[in-house]
C-alpha cells in the first residue's frame, strides 16, 4: 500500500530496541525528503492513467484509493504501533471504543459468548451488554484475578476472553499468561486492552494474548489532544478488523494519526516519568495519617505486586487512595485542589483527580460497586508530569482539612 519504501526494512527492525523503534519505525519519506513525517490530509489519491487506477483498485498494484481504506500517515502510526507491541499487523481506529467494536464485529457472531473482567472501562461494559447483546452476543463478567471464576463460566460458545490490566482504578493485575492458556484450551481468543501501561511497560502479545487494543486517546498521545485507537495482532486476526473498518467507516483521521505518531516518539520517556511520579505519591500517601489505604501495584503490600513485577516493566501512572469519611471527605479533597484537574481523563501530562463512585463507575449497581471494591471514600489520581512536590502541596490542601 505504500508509495515509498520504508526507511528501515523488517530485518533491521527486529534487532532494534524499544526507544529506537519509537522514533525510527513506521517512517516513510516522500520525494520531498522531509525529515519529520508528513501529514497526508487528503480524502482520495490520483492515478497517471485509467489503467493504473484499475490496477490499484484491483489490488494488483500497491497504492492508496481512499482515506477510509488507507492513508500513508495512518499506516505510519499503525506500523510504529506494530513495532512497539511486537505485532505482525495493526488497524488504527477513530477511538479506543471503535477498536473494541471492530475486534468484536470481526470475530464474534450471533450465539457467541464472551467472558470479560468485571473491572473494565465503563463504555466497554455498555458495548458488550447493550450493543453486542442486541445482536445475540452474550457476555459474562468475572473477577480479573480469580482464574477459577474465568474457567467456571467458559462454555462451548465462548469465543473471546476480554480484559484490561492493571484494572481501573484499583490496579488489580491479571495473569495474562495463565489466561491465554485458559482461552486457547477452549479455542477462544484472549483480547487485552493495554491502555493503562502501553507497550512501553507491558507487551501482552509476548505473554500469549492474541489481540491488543488501545485507546490512543490516553498515554499514546499523552497530552490529552485527540481521540484514536488501534488493534494489533497477527495478520490473520487483524485483517478481518481492517475489512470491517473499511465498510463501517470508523477510521482514524490522518491529522490525529500524525499527532499520535509523534506522541509515540516520547512514549517511553513519559511512561517512565509517570511511573516515577506515581510511585513517589503512592509512598507519600501510604504514610499520610489521613489516608486509609493506597492501591498501586508498585507498593509491596498490593495483592498484584508480584505478578506486576513479572509481566510489567513499570507500575503505570494511575493510583487510587481511600480517605476516612466516605463521599464527603473524598469530595473535600477533590474540591480543594488548585493545580490538579478535576476531570476523568487520564494519560495526560497533567494530573487528574476523580471520584470513581460518582463519575467513571457511577453506572455500576451497588452490588457490582461493592464487588469491585469501589468505596465512597476512594479517589483516583492519574498522575501527570508536574513536580510531585507541587502535587503533594495540592493534595494536602484538602487532606489537612479532614
Residues in touch with ligand PLP (CB under 6 A): 95-97, 121, 123-124, 164, 193, 195, 215, 217-218, 227, 229
Residue closer to ligand PLP (CB basis): 86 or 122: 122
CB of 216 to ligand PLP, least distance (A): 7
37 CB burial (10 A radius; 0-12, 13-18, 19+): buried
CB of 227 to ligand PLP, least distance (A): 5
What phi-psi label fits residue 202: left (phi over 0), alpha (psi between -120 and 50 degrees) or beta?
beta
CB of 143 to ligand PLP, least distance (A): 17
CB of 161 to ligand PLP, least distance (A): 16
Q: How many CB atoms lie within 10 A of CB 235?
A: 10
CB of 228 to ligand PLP, least distance (A): 7
Residue closer to ligand PLP (CB basis): 102 or 229: 229
Query: Could you tell me which of 159, 176, 158, 155 has the C-alpha nearest to residue 167?
Result: 176
CB of 47 to ligand PLP, least distance (A): 35
Distance CA 343, CA 329 (A): 18
Residue closer to ligand PLP (CB basis): 318 or 323: 318
| Buried/exposed 147-162: b ≥16 CB within 10 Å, e otherwise | eebbeeebeeebbbbb
Residue closer to ligand PLP (CB basis): 81 or 195: 195
Q: Which residues, at least 6 apart from 107, have a Cβ–Cβ distance to it below 8 Å? A: 159, 160, 189, 237, 240
Secondary structure of residue 378 in the 3-state scheme: strand
Residue closer to ligand PLP (CB basis): 21 or 195: 195
CB of 164 to ligand PLP, least distance (A): 5
Residue closer to ligand PLP (CB basis): 379 or 382: 382
- Rg of the chain (C-alpha set): 22
Q: Which residue is nearest to ligand PLP (CB)?
A: 96
Q: At what angle do helices 254-265 and 72-85 cross, to 10 degrees?
A: 30
Residue closer to ligand PLP (CB basis): 167 or 279: 167
CB of 175 to ligand PLP, least distance (A): 18
Residue closer to ligand PLP (CB basis): 8 or 267: 267
Cβ–Cβ under 8 Å, residues 193 and 162: yes
Strand ordering across the sheet containing 291-295 = 291-295, 318-323, 378-382, 352-354, 341-342
Query: Could you tell me which of 181, 138, 187 has the C-alpha nearest to residue 159?
Result: 187
Amino acid at each position: 500500500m505504500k508509495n515509498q519504501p520504508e526507511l528501515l526494512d523488517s530485518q533491521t527492525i527486529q534487532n532494534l530496541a524499544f526507544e529506537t523503534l519509537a522514533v525510527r519505525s513506521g517512517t516513510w519519506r516522500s520525494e520531498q525528503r522531509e525529515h519529520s513525517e508528513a501529514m497526508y490530509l487528503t480524502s482520495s489519491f490520483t492515478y497517471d492513467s485509467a489503467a493504473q487506477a484499475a490496477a490499484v483498485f484491483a489490488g494488483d498494484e500497491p497504492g492508496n484509493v481512499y482515506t477510509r481504506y488507507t492513508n500513508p500517515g495512518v499506516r505510519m502510526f499503525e506500523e510504529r504501533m506494530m513495532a512497539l507491541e511486537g505485532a505482525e499487523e495493526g488497524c488504527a481506529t477513530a477511538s479506543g471504543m471503535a477498536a473494541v467494536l471492530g475486534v468484536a464485529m470481526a470475530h464474534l457472531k450471533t450465539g457467541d459468548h464472551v467472558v470479560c473482567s468485571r473491572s473494565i472501562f465503563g463504555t466497554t461494559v455498555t458495548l458488550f451488554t447493550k450493543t453486542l447483546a442486541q445482536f445475540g452476543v452474550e457476555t459474562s463478567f468475572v473477577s480479573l484475578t480469580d482464574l477459577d471464576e474465568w474457567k467456571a463460566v467458559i462454555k462451548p460458545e465462548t469465543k473471546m476472553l476480554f480484559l484490561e490490566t492493571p484494572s481501573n482504578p484499583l490496579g488489580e493485575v491479571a495473569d495474562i499468561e495463565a489466561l491465554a492458556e485458559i482461552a486457547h484450551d477452549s479455542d477462544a481468543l484472549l483480547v487485552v486492552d493495554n491502555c493503562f501501561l502501553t507497550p512501553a511497560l507491558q507487551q501482552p502479545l509476548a505473554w500469549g494474548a492474541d489481540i491488543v487494543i488501545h485507546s490512543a486517546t490516553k498515554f499514546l498521545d499523552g497530552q490529552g489532544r485527540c481521540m484514536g485507537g488501534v488493534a494489533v495482532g497477527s495478520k490473520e486476526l487483524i485483517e478481518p478488523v481492517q475489512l470491517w473498518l473499511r465498510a463501517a467507516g470508523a477510521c482514524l483521521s490522518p491529522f490525529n494519526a500524525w499527532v499520535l505518531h509523534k506522541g509515540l516518539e516520547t512514549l517511553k520517556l513519559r511512561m517512565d516519568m509517570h511511573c516515577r511520579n506515581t510511585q513517589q505519591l503512592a509512598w507519600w500517601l501510604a504514610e499520610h495519617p489521613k489516608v486509609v489505604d493506597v492501591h498501586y501495584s508498585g507498593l509491596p503490600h498490593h495483592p498484584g505486586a508480584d505478578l506486576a513485577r513479572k509481566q510489567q516493566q513499570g507500575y503505570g501512572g494511575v493510583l487510587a487512595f481511600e480517605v476516612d469519611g466516605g463521599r464527603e471527605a473524598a469530595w473535600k479533597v477533590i474540591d480543594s485542589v488548585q493545580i490538579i484537574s478535576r476531570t476523568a481523563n487520564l494519560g495526560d501530562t497533567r494530573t487528574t483527580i476523580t471520584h470513581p463512585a460518582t463519575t467513571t463507575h457511577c453506572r455500576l449497581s451497588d452490588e457490582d460497586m461493592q464487588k469491585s471494591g469501589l468505596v465512597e471514600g476512594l479517589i483516583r489520581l492519574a498522575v501527570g508530569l508536574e513536580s510531585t512536590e507541587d502535587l503533594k502541596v495540592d493534595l494536602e490542601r484538602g487532606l489537612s482539612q479532614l
